[in-house]
Amino acid sequence: MDNIVDIKEFFLKKTSFLPPLSRPYIIAEVGVNHEGSLERAKKMIELAREGGADAVKFQTYKAETLASRNSPAYWDMTKEPTKSQYELFKRHDSFGEEEYLALYEHSQKVGIDFLSTPFDLRAVEFLAPLCPFIKIASADITNMPLLRKAGATGRPVALSTGASTLSEIETALKILKEAGCKFAALFHCILNYPTSSENAHLGMIVGLRRAFPDIPIGYSDHTLPDEFMTSLVTAFLLGAVIIEKHFTDDKSLPGNDHYHAMDIKDLRRFVSIIEDVLRLVGPTIMKSPIDTEDIARENARRSIVTAKEIPEGHIVTEDDIIAKRPATGISPLFWDEVTGKRALRDLPEDYILSWKDISSK
């Protein structure tokens, strides 16, 4: 693909899947977990910022333009019993442009990027000036009008790829490019709510990197958070430079996206683990000694040492010497250069040889 990408500029991060690594761009997706409360949504923006996220994301839709009244549920009915997509979306579409503008302004005040996924053409038009990039949901990867509208804004586009084929991804990128999109990113995603560990298929991140080597790859997660935030950390180590996960202030709330979301404790834990990982990875891939190894290079490596007393004038043989620590004398790398040389003076046993002790010929 030739339509891509230095997405680093608008993510405002030096994201790379090769060392020197930097933190992934972390998106806390509130979605509609605010339950229609503007004040609660604002508080969740603050929690996301406090927890260490780079962006907070909502969802902008109206049920009438999103789902048919006959659209069946496809989620875990034991967690969300609503049988119709239309009914569920209708219950959560109370926010309008006034509310989203207020959330944008609050995000600016708090110091976190504002994002919202648009689900119709008007939402794309409204959100484009407010967001550093446009996020397209997996379910809209074949929605040509929406892709064209997003591409025509000239904004970067991040495209989730849940339930899609490589051919569908290529087609979507082509549509975006032809509409005017110059920068794109792809998110691995599995459209299961929640996603079990065996269905997460994080290896597909590697596959996307290989199939689209010039495009930054992210991960949109629907697994249940664990103590070690395993899915997110693994995704990062496999090359995801953008991490998106649903976010809530109360994981015990029923329905919708609360039960597989992270809360501020999970978010803080993820950020802390990533910081530990980055310390472990270090700043470079070029193999070389580091400063703290200097003492080991001198004391844990070996020198050529006399294995017995050697009289002056004796021709040194392999039986006369041994390699021992420390590395303050002649290195064993010069073993063959030492053997056959003449001792210039009497040398005691267990003596660390130096070049001044033997002849040059």
CATH code for 291-357? Answer: 3.90.1210.10
Residues 114 and 285: their CA atoms lie apart, in Å, by 34
Contact criterion met (CB below 8 Å) for 313 and 279: no
Contact criterion met (CB below 8 Å) for 219 and 232: yes
Give 35-97 as a DSSP string: TT-HHHHHHHHHHHHHHT-SEEEEEE--HHHH--TTPBP-S-TTT----BHHHHHHHT----H
Closest C-alpha to 304, from 270, 287, 327? 327
Q: How many CB atoms lie within 10 A of CB 215?
A: 21
Residues 38 and 61: their CA atoms lie apart, in Å, by 16
Angle subtended at Cα 5 by Cα 24 and Cα 208, rounded to the nearest 5 degrees? 65
113, HSE (Cβ side, Cα atoms, 13 Å): 23
Closest C-alpha to 203, from 234, 160, 161? 234
Q: Are strands 134-136 and 157-160 parallel, antiparallel or unpaired?
A: parallel
DSSP state of 251: T
pLDDT in tens, the chain (361 residues): 232 334 445 544 434 445 556 789 999 999 999 989 999 999 999 999 999 999 999 999 998 989 988 888 887 787 778 888 888 788 878 999 999 999 999 999 999 999 999 999 999 999 999 999 999 999 999 999 999 999 999 999 999 999 999 999 999 999 999 999 988 999 999 999 899 999 999 999 999 999 998 898 999 999 999 999 999 999 999 999 999 999 999 999 886 688 899 999 999 999 999 999 999 988 888 899 999 999 999 999 999 999 999 999 999 999 999 999 999 999 999 999 999 999 999 999 999 999 999 998 7
- The residues, ordered by sequence, that sit 6+ positions from 302 with a Cβ below 8 Å of its Cβ are 323, 324, 325, 326, 327, 331, 332
Q: What residue ranges in 215-307 does DSSP mark as E strands?
A: 217-221, 242-246, 303-306
**Pure H helices in 158-261:** 166-179, 197-200, 203-211, 230-237
Contact criterion met (CB below 8 Å) for 98 and 121: no
**In CATH, what is the architecture of 8-281?**
Alpha-Beta Barrel (3.20)
The domain segmentation of the chain, as residue ranges, is 8-281, 291-357
